[in-house]
Amino acid sequence: MTKLSVNINKFATLRNSRGGNNPDVVKAAVDAQEFGADGVTVHPRPDERHIRYADVYAIKKIITTEFNIEGNSQEQKFIDLVLDVKPTQVTLVPDALGQITSNHGWDTIRHKDYLLEIVGVFKKAGIRVSLFVDPVIAMVEGAAATGTDRIELYTEAYAHGYLEDKEKAIAPYHKAALRARELGLGLNAGHDLDLHNLQYFARTIPALDEVSIGHALIADALYLGYENTIQLYKRQLQ
């Protein structure tokens, strides 16, 4: 079954808006595990506007499921953090400084030399590497050439097109997924997946290893409860 990794950044956003430690981000990670999540994802940014680097170290001490750290590997501070913490997986995202949220995948052809180098750095440390990419065959093939273990398909376009024409919206993702599997790549997905569009995506995309979901899941939890929401998302993946 496809694994669910819960991105807990929004807990940190809420905490940081008032100061103090409410809600407790480390407890949010512990609870995600206890409520059935297969992993926890964090995406620290240089300005620490949500997840702080100290949070990452604190979560590492208590986590018993998979730990996925997303971020911009062009920031030396991020590289040092990942190599020190040694999570299960690092997902490399081509964010710009100050970017609100990730909005595009790597150009794996243009940045091949850089990605070859940085993927090698993390793999040498025993960390599984995933590259954030758009559902474009050439970008998938470029990712495979870097030596990455997995790719994470950026699913915003699918989510936006789902209500209008779900078959059309998912078509490029299906093709990209098939090519990834032909090339021996593991397959993750994330961004704007929710209780409405997740089940169709998971059923249509072959051999999907993992989805990482944060904003929609935490928003649903405000109404439905954290434990119940995690279970509802897990059911969409069965």
Model confidence band, residue 96 (pLDDT cutoffs 50, 70, 90):
low
What percent of the chain lies above the pLDDT cut of 70?
97
Distance CA(141)–CA(217), nearest Å, equals: 31
Peptide bond into 46 cis (omega under 30): no
Look at the alpha carbons of 89, 94, 97, 99 in this order and tell me if their dihedral is positive or negative: negative
pLDDT tens string 22-64:
999 999 999 999 999 999 999 999 889 999 999 999 999 999 9
Cβ atoms within 10 Å of 101's Cβ, excluding its own: 13
Query: Tokens 């409860």 map to which residue?
Result: 225
Residue 103 reports pLDDT greater than 80: no
153: amino acid identity, one letter: L
pTM of the model: 0.94
Model confidence band, residue 222 (pLDDT cutoffs 50, 70, 90):
very high
Whether 191 is catalytic is yes
Residue 122 reports pLDDT greater than 70: yes
Whether 70 is catalytic is yes
pLDDT tens string 143-200:
999 999 999 999 999 999 999 999 999 999 999 999 999 999 999 999 999 999 999 9
Residue 100 reports pLDDT greater than 60: no
Give the model's pLDDT for residue 104.
Answer: 76
Query: Tokens 């089940």 map to which residue?
Result: 199
Give the model's pLDDT for residue 46.
Answer: 87
Give the model's pLDDT for residue 98.
Answer: 56
- Residues paired with residue 40 on neighbouring β-strands, in sequence order: 6, 67
Distances (CA, A) of 205 to 21, 44, 72, 168, 199: 39, 29, 27, 13, 10
Q: Which two tokens stand for residue 84?
A: 């020190």
Give the model's pLDDT for residue 99.
Answer: 53
Mean pLDDT for 202-228 is: 97
19: amino acid identity, one letter: G
Show the domain range for 103. Answer: 3-236
Residue 101 reports pLDDT greater than 60: no
CATH of the domain at 44: 3.20.20.70
Catalytic residue, candidates 66, 70, 152, 210: 70
Asked if 171 and 158 touch (Cβ cutoff 8 Å), the reply is no
Give the model's pLDDT for residue 74.
Answer: 87
Give the model's pLDDT for residue 146.
Answer: 98
- Residues paired with residue 213 on neighbouring β-strands, in sequence order: 6
Catalytic residue, candidates 50, 66, 191, 210: 191
Give the model's pLDDT for residue 230.
Answer: 98
* Domains in the chain, number: 1
Instruction: Decide which of 87 and 102 is more confident.
Output: 87
Asked if 51 and 25 touch (Cβ cutoff 8 Å), the reply is yes
Whether 164 is catalytic is no
Residue 216 reports pLDDT greater than 90: yes
Residue-wise DSSP of the chain: --EEEEE-HHHHHHHHHH-TTSS-HHHHHHHHHHTT-SEEEE---TT-SSS-HHHHHHHHHH--SEEEEEE-TTSHHHHHHHHHH--SEEEE--PPTT-SS------TTTTHHHHHHHHHHHHHTT-EEEEEE-S-HHHHHHHHTTT-SEEEEE-HHHHHHTTT-HHHHHHHHHHHHHHHHHTT-EEEEESS--TTTHHHHHHHSTT--EEEE-HHHHHHHHHH-HHHHHHHHHHHT-
20: amino acid identity, one letter: G
Catalytic residue, candidates 43, 50, 66, 152: 43
Give the model's pLDDT for residue 75.
Answer: 87
Q: What are phi and psi of 224, to 5 degrees?
A: -105, -10
